[in-house]
Amino acid sequence: MATSIDVSDLDIYYGDFKAVEGVTMSIPAKSVTAFIGPSGCGKSTFLRSLNRMHEVVPGARVDGRVVMGGQDLYGSDVDPVEVRRQVGMVFQRPNPFPTMSIYENVLAGNRLNSRRMKKSEADDIVERALRGANLWKEVSDRLDKPGAGLSGGQQQRLCIARAIAVEPQVLLMDEPCSALDPISTSAIEDLIHELRTEYTIVIVTHNMQQAARFSEDTAFFNLAGAGKPGRLVEMNSTKKIFSVPDDPSTEAYISGRFG
C-alpha cells in the first residue's frame, strides 16, 4: 500500500511570498527519506505540501505537480480532505486530543472515515495500531484513560498510532523528536526503523545524526539568500550525503561550518 512520491518543479507561496522554489524530487516507497537544512529553509513547508496541510494557512498555494500513486495531489478534482486521509502526519509536539481516551484517540481517524464499526473490529484496529507504535504493552491496561495523561514520548507514539490506524500510504513526520527527551527519542527512532517496511516515511529533522542513523535518502534544503525562497540543494543517498556530497554547501552544513 505504500507508494512513491514524485514532485516536479514545485513552487509554494503564502500569498505573494514565495516560500519554496523549484523542488523536483522523487521519494521512494517503503523507505525513510530525511529532510535537513537550516531553520526557515522551507523544509517543513515542503513536507506540509505533500498532504496539503500548508493550505490551512489562508492564501497558501502551489505551482507544480506532486504525484502520489499515479494521482496528482493538486489536480483540480482532488479534495484535500481525501489527500490527508491517505497521508498520515505526525507533528513536532505530541497532540493527542485532550478530551479523548487513549482508545478514542487511536480511532479518531477511522471514525472520520467510516461511521459504523463493530466493537470487535474497533478493538482490533486499536490493538494493531498501538502494537505498531510500540505502545501496546505500556497502555493496554488503561485504554480508557485520557491520552493527555501519558508522558511526552508516549503521547508522540500515541499520535503515530493514530496516524497508522487508518493505514495511510505515506507517513509524514515534522521533527517528531525535537520536543522529547533522549530515551523517548530513541524509542521513536526504533519505531521509525520498523515502520519503514510498511510505509513510505518522510521526516524533517534538525538532528543530523538522526538523519544519518535511519534514513535511506537525505534531501538538503537551503535558502538561496536572505529573503529569497528556500530550495532543494541536493538529494542523494544518505551515505553519499554524509560522506561525499555533490554540493559544497551541503558539506559545509553537515560539517557544521554554517547553518
Partner 1 sequence: MSAPTTSPPAPPPARAKRRIGDVLFRGSTQVAAGIILVALAGVAIFLTAEGIPALRADAAHLAGESTFLAYAWPLLFGTLLAAFIALLIATPLAIGVALAISHYAPRRLANLVGYVIDLLAAVPSVVYGLWGANVLGPAMVPVYRWLSEHLGFLPLFAGPASGGGRTMLTAGLVLAIMALPIITAICREIFSQTPRLHEEAALALGATRWEMIRMAVFPYSRSGIVSAVMLGLGRALGETMAVALVLSAFRIVSWDLVSGTAPSTIAANIALSFPEATGVGVNVLIATGLVLFVITFAVNFSARMIVARSEKGLVR
Beta pairing class for 71-72 and 60-68? antiparallel
CB of 137 to partner 1, least distance (A): 22
* Burial (0-12, 13-18, 19+ Cβ within 10 Å), 108: middle
Question: 60 or 163: whose CB is closer to partner 1?
Answer: 163
Question: 51 or 238: whose CB is closer to partner 1?
Answer: 51
What interhelical angle do 152-164 and 182-195 show, nearest 10? 20
Cα-based distances in Å from 34 to 7, 47, 125: 15, 10, 28
Cβ atoms 205, 35 nearer than 8 A: yes
CB of 168 to partner 1, least distance (A): 9
Question: 92 or 186: whose CB is closer to partner 1?
Answer: 92
Question: 56 or 226: whose CB is closer to partner 1?
Answer: 56
Question: 64 or 88: whose CB is closer to partner 1?
Answer: 88
CA–CA distance, 103 with 221 (Å, rounded to integer): 38
CB of 61 to partner 1, least distance (A): 16
CA–CA distance, 214 with 32 (Å, rounded to integer): 7
Residues 6+ apart with CB under 8 A from 252: 258, 259
CB of 88 to partner 1, least distance (A): 7
174: three-class secondary structure by DSSP: strand
CB of 250 to partner 1, least distance (A): 30
CA–CA distance, 174 with 251 (Å, rounded to integer): 23
Q: Which residues bind partner 1 (CB under 8 A)?
A: 51, 53, 56, 58, 81-86, 88-89, 91, 93, 95-100, 108-109, 112-113, 146, 148-149, 159, 162-163, 166
CB of 86 to partner 1, least distance (A): 8
Question: 104 or 217: whose CB is closer to partner 1?
Answer: 104
